[in-house]
Amino acid sequence: MKPAPQLKKSSNGAGAKAAELSPERELRRIVATVLRLAKSTGAEETEVHVDEVADALTRFANNAIHQNVAELGLTVSIRTVADGRTARATTNRIDEDSLRAAIEASLSLAHSQPKDPRLLPLPAKQRYRSVHRFLKPTAALCAEERARAVRRACDLAVKNGQVAAGIYASGQSQSALGNSRGLFAAYRETHSEFSITVQEGPAASWAKANSADVRAYDPQKLAARACEKAHLAVNARKLPPGRYTVILEPSAVLDLVGFLFYDFAATALEDKRSCLNDRMGKQLIGPNITITDDAYHALQQGAPFDGEGLPRQKVLLVDRGIPRNLVYSRSAARSTGKQPTGHGFALPNEYGEAPMNLVFTGGDSSVEKMVASTERGLLVTRLWYIREVDPYEKVMTGMTRDGLFLVESGRVTGAVRNFRFNQSIIEMLNNVELLGPAVRATGEEAFEMVVPAMKVHNFHFSEVTKF
Amino acid sequence: MWDLCTNALDTARLRGAAYGDVRVMHLRQRDLTTKNGQVGTLSQSESIGLGIRVLANGAWGFSSTDRLTREGVAACAAQAVSIAKASALAKREEVVLAPEQSYIDSWQSPFRKDPFEIPLETQLALLLAADEEMRRVKGVTLTETDMQFRKIDSWFASSTGSRIHQRKAISGCGIAATSFQGEEIQKRSYPNSFGGQHALQGYELVQSLDLLKNAPIVAEEAVALHSASQCPEKIGTLILGGSQLGLQIHESIGHPIELDRVLGQEANFAGTSFLTLDQLNKLKYGSSIVNVVADARLDHGQGLGTFAYDDEGVPAQCTDIIKDGQFRGYLSNRETAHLVGLNRSSGTMRTESWNRLPIIRMTNVSLLPGSWDYDDLIADTHDGILMETNRSWSIDDRRYQFQFSTEIGWEIKGGKKVRMLKNPSYSGITTDFWNSCDAICKLGHWTLWGTPNCGKGQPMQTMGTGHGASPSRFRNVRIGTAFSNQ
């Protein structure tokens, strides 16, 4: 591998220090190099994405670390346009020969297809609202610190006669996007996550947090909560399937409503695969549900620009139960006579766009108040293996997991065996009785969003499993 | 590449590693899709880098980099050792590896036509022609086609002397037609849903599929489903087509036998397994005609789980999983083999890329063919439902309770397919289901299906697995649950 003289990737560094990203000027230099090289290849227009990641993840199970990994990587993705055609080639080799080869590969791919009558010129220079999501304490978190925190969590489980498994991850990433019409955008963020499952015999429970700022949560408190709930989860009794009032903790809400995100894409409606086809402007869900897409919300993460470099806009998607607006890539906006909203995916692609920063408006209740207000229902910690059964009615199936509790006369009275559900999200969002404050929720089925806990009546559980 | 490997291993040893293994991998991929007669995705990518796994102070560390200079590789190896020493701060016992010989070898998966040598124009022309065939059918509202090709070179070196180079070529292809009508979306795919068929083959896979013949068939079925009867809710006889049965094997046999899950190592994410160690050689997993193997050898076929060596340097093997209905074996690695009384790994450690740690993975987990001719199986079924092509899949985190739905169903009465059914689904408990199997079709109906998108591990890794299956019959299955509203 022949390194280019002025294109350096940062070193992992020796010792246990967290790896560091390259300075932004290095990414700018790569973008400039690609644009310069592309000029001599016949590309009429060129777009360059540079993405760099330095991540680490400590994984534990059976009260000990069993996997512990770190990753450093940089990719350069090049889209060229020639004669009304476009295509993309990606490489992680940044010497000039490799970059030139990627440009030529992109052009070769582009020339192999028919002209695309919908293809738009690349966007010109844009203005971006700044976001600050890079936190030094997160970037500096090292393997020893993660290991010590894991050790404390595991010791707590051992002390309780329980078994802990989970992850403690931290890292940083950055992206730069530039094109031959002068557009340039750059973004960097840190990310961290602590997740723990605690088992007590056949019972288990779970807690998880995710933030750009590692100081935003306390792994030991999450461990304590999982230990406590795992103990409550022992001696689960079997209840018959049927319709129940449920109190969904934010992670459970997220993993269900997360499946709605692509339905708000203008391209999904054009393709007639959205549950919003023929339903825009109608009272589809309860008037207590309002959904926006807001990349600038304090609890959100992600770049303030989309795959073509357009600034992300805040979009009101559902206003008091009525779907009002969609998100639009430049292409979708052109074909529907709308303005682009800054939600497009990197081209070329067949999906168009999607809102990636969903925010549900919360309420003034809480999980505790929801429990206290419930005569008979189920408290759901987490859902698992959710898949779409009916794309138009948005019926989803999946399982409860890691802590399902019976609520009777306003208090938790015991654990219940896990259920399978077959539930329409549309119906569910018509049956919301109470909302908690919206929080940054994290699960395993959907990307992080800002959602509240919900109390929902008539939630449909179809079968019960053996634990 | 061997110099990079040696550099990494030497650095790790000098820093205090007792064992190390390195993978340099070069991955190349081409993706083509069309939608409604237009090119969708058209891209190719390459990625090259190095990942090193080390044991130091009795614990694991792993680090990866794409900075393939002498300095970059040395820094990466030093980082891996530092991480291993940090892991030792929270260890309960020393890692012990089952012995394995060292190998110096080179292997390439067989293929007749290199997909990267086939002109893009040829590949796109075929997809656009299939797309057009589907769009000819009135009522079709969305047409999609795709091809995906990968070429993976890996260089494995260990501190015990192995030097193994492998090159694999992987192809995938599929088409789908969707119809939105009234308040219903129906879809049909060929030859399988979620991207079609995938195998360790060259472009000959695409040419074997006859997309143009099948395009109008799936398009017409997608539209016809709107006027088909709803699949009834009942306990009854179920016949599964081969691709759906492949996914059933994947979810209800392949995952539960992963020894890392059994031992709790995936408890926080992918889940655990009902197949606790006391079940080995005791559990009656299925009926006496159910025989399942995990076979990574080329003899089994060119599946997504076929290789010569796993990513821990262990040769490909065939392991009995279920023999005459009895549970006989797990998927193991060098670290876990001794826990099930084995003195050697079963060779199932696999990694998605250079920047991921190898973990226990399915290889080709296949239901061996039975004795039935397909027509005889239908003729022998008095009252049943045939379900084909997966639409949704879900199973609990210990792999007991599952629910699947398929794109299309057919009611069978008096030994004949009598009418199409829409929204078919079935559910059950894993061992009850496999014990209800009373007929498996023979080798002529058997296909080694590819599942290209199996997610596992943290950070998440996506892996391709193979599942050989032929249409099979199951009795007393709960049918129609997914659309029940009670």
Note the pLDDT tens digit of each residue in B265-306: 999 999 999 999 999 999 999 999 999 999 999 999 999 999
Rg of chain A over all Cα atoms, to the nearest angstrom: 24
CATH of the domain at B8: 3.30.2290.10
Residue type, B278: D
Contact flag B92-A143 (C-beta cutoff 8 Å): no
Does B92 touch chain A if contact means CB atoms closer than 8 Å?
Answer: yes
Q: How far apart are CA A26 and CA A22, in angstroms?
A: 6
**Is the separation of the CB atoms in A71 and B459 below 8 Å?**
yes
Mean pLDDT, chain B, whole residue set: 97
- Looking at this predicted complex, what is its ipTM? 0.96
- Same-domain check for residues B263 and B242: yes
For chain B, give the percent of residues with pLDDT over 70: 100
- Same-domain check for residues B90 and B174: yes
Alpha-carbon torsion, ordered A341, A347, A350, A354, to 10 deg:
-30
Range of the domain at B354: 229-483
User: What per-residue confidence (pLDDT) applies to A12?
Assistant: 39
Q: How far apart are CA B324 and CA B293, in angstroms?
A: 11
Does B485 touch chain A if contact means CB atoms closer than 8 Å?
Answer: yes
Q: Which residues from chain A sit within 8 angstroms of residue B34, using beta carbons? A: 350
Q: Are strands B447-456 and B349-350 parallel, antiparallel or unpaired?
A: unpaired
Selection from B365, B368, B366, B369 nearest residue B441 by Cα: B369
Read off the pTM.
0.96
- Candidate from A1, A90, A109 with C-beta closest to B42: A109
- Same-domain check for residues B136 and B271: no
| DSSP secondary structure, A325-354, as one string | --B--HHHHHHHT----S-BPSSS-SS-B-
Last residue of a domain, one of B227, B257, B291: B227
Residues 6+ apart with CB under 8 A from A242: A460, A461, B486
Token digits for A340? 């682009």
- Candidate from B39, B87, B482 with C-beta closest to A348: B39
Last residue of a domain, one of B176, B200, B227: B227
**CB within 8 Å of chain A, chain B residues 452-481:** 458-459, 478, 481
Query: Among all chains, which residue has been given the structure tokens 């206003």?
Result: A319
Min distance A364 CA to chain B CA atoms (Å): 31
Q: Which residues from chain B sit within 8 angstroms of residue A427, using beta carbons? A: none
Query: Among all chains, which residue has been given the structure tokens 């288990």?
Result: A204
Q: Which residues from chain A sit within 8 angstroms of residue B459, using beta carbons? A: 55, 57, 69, 71, 169
For residues B376-400, give the mean pLDDT. Answer: 98
Task: Say how many C-beta atoms besides its own lie within 10 A of residue A82's C-beta.
Answer: 17
Last residue of a domain, one of B227, B256, B281: B227
- Same-domain check for residues B211 and B240: no
Asked if the model's pLDDT at residue B125 lies above 80, the reply is: yes
Token digits for B24? 């340099």
Asked if the model's pLDDT at residue B464 lies above 50, the reply is: yes
Q: Which residues from chain B sit within 8 angstroms of residue A59, using beta carbons? A: 268, 458
Q: From the candidates A11, A20, A57, A119, which should be mutated to test the interface with B, based on the most B CB atoms within 10 A?
A: A11
- Same-domain check for residues B210 and B252: no
For residues B443-459, give the mean pLDDT. Answer: 97
Number of domains in chain B: 2
- Same-domain check for residues B71 and B206: yes
Residues 6+ apart with CB under 8 A from A36: none
- Same-domain check for residues B304 and B274: yes
- Same-domain check for residues B56 and B114: yes
**Is the separation of the CB atoms in A118 and A333 below 8 Å?**
no
Note the pLDDT tens digit of each residue in B169-216: 999 999 999 999 999 999 999 999 999 999 999 999 999 999 999 999
User: What per-residue confidence (pLDDT) applies to A360?
Assistant: 98
Note the pLDDT tens digit of each residue in B221-262: 999 999 999 999 999 999 999 999 999 999 999 999 999 999
From residue A363, alpha-carbon distances to A290, A316, A436, A446, A462 in Å are 11, 18, 5, 22, 29
Note the pLDDT tens digit of each residue in A32-70: 999 999 999 989 999 999 999 999 999 999 999 999 999
User: What per-residue confidence (pLDDT) applies to A19?
Assistant: 79
- Same-domain check for residues B71 and B163: yes
Exposure class string for A415-429: b at 16+ Cβ within 10 A, else e:
bbebbbbbbbbbbbb
- Same-domain check for residues B387 and B439: yes
Strands (E), A45-180: 45-61, 64-82, 85-91, 163-179
Contact flag A11-B35 (C-beta cutoff 8 Å): no
Q: Domains for chain A: give ranges and CATH numbers.
A: 24-214 (3.30.2290.10), 235-467 (no CATH)
Token digits for A150? 């894991």
Asked if the model's pLDDT at residue B168 lies above 70, the reply is: yes
- Same-domain check for residues B166 and B295: no
User: What per-residue confidence (pLDDT) applies to B486?
Assistant: 57
Token digits for B180? 């939105």
User: What per-residue confidence (pLDDT) applies to A16?
Assistant: 62
Burial of B122 (0-12, 13-18, 19+ CB in 10 A): exposed
Which parts of chain A register pLDDT below 50? 1-15
Which 3 state secondary structure label does DSSP give A143?
helix
- Same-domain check for residues B283 and B216: no
Min distance B96 CA to chain A CA atoms (Å): 12
Contact flag B41-A399 (C-beta cutoff 8 Å): no
Contact flag B75-A13 (C-beta cutoff 8 Å): yes
